[in-house]
Amino acid sequence: MSSSSMQTLSFLVNVPALDGRGRTVPQGAIRFINPGVAGLDNDGLFLRPETLPMDEPVVAAMLAQYAQLARESRGVADISAFAPGQYEDFHSGTSFAIRDAITAQASGQAGAIRAREMRSKAQTTLCLAWALEQAGRELAGLEEKLGGQWSRFEQSLGWEEDDALDPEALTLAQAKPQLAPGGPRVPYGLLVDAVLCFLPEGCGLFSDDAALAEEWREYGVAFAPATDADTARFGLEGAWQCAKAPGHLLCLSRRAAPDKPWQAAAWSVFLPAGDRA
């Protein structure tokens, strides 16, 4: 099944990670959402929604600017201030936005135009999350490389694990450069909301992120061992934790937004079997 397919076969979309390349997922029924990135493989790992309003050149421009921002930012606040303005920059000047405005005036289809604007904002959120994830991967690679080089440096000085409490060894450990852990990210609620905006009816979510699972529990999402019917529906095997919850709780909101039908809909969510119920 291709990455651009929107067939009715039920499957799960991974959150919060978007880029599945190089990641190990438990089973083939789990996909990663592609927010419009060109050149991704076509082996069924990615879901590319057919309703994405912005095309690949616009997405590429967003990703380039977001990537630069991610490298320069010190926290989520920097990203939060940047994203709304970038949405206006990228969407308002596109042929899509101009065409939408003309159509709205001519036909009075304000509801349809509003829906398209929400999809554009959701796509922008996903692009921002994608760029931050790539920046995080770069940072993780640098941390791994630094860790290896530092270990070789310690070995060259003759330090061993037994020397950890030695004053000179402690001084050396404190001198090791520290990279910012993780870097900024899109808040979980905004990211899940953007994913659900494009998720086909009958599909669900999967997460192996313990922090996100805990956030869901705090909003009253109750997980229990998945039944055979639950797993069969998504072509899964083995033991899983499962919950069925309205979208607004999965978006970490106490109530559904009236103009976001996906927040009122019920969705299935799966966690690894080892996650606590």
pLDDT tens, position by position, 137-191? 776 544 454 454 545 545 555 555 444 444 444 444 444 444 444 566 788 999 9
Domain contains 231? yes
Domain contains 244? yes
User: Which structural domain range is residue 191 located in?
Assistant: 12-130+184-272
Structural domains in the chain (count): 1
Domain contains 67? yes
d(CA 136, CA 182): 6
Q: Quickly list DSSP for 119-141.
A: HHHHHHHHHHHHHHHHHHHHHHH
Domain contains 96? yes
Model pLDDT for residues 211-238, shown as the tens digit of each residue: 999 999 999 999 999 999 999 999 999 9
Both tokens of residue 142? 């640098």
What average pLDDT does the chain have? 78
Domain contains 63? yes
Domain contains 47? yes
| DSSP designation for 258 | T
Domain contains 218? yes
> What's the predicted TM-score (pTM) here?
0.76
Residues near 87 by beta carbon (within 8 Å), at least 6 away in sequence: 120, 121, 124
Regions of the chain short of the pLDDT cut 70: 1-9, 41-42, 70-71, 73-101, 103-110, 139-184, 276-277
Domain contains 251? yes
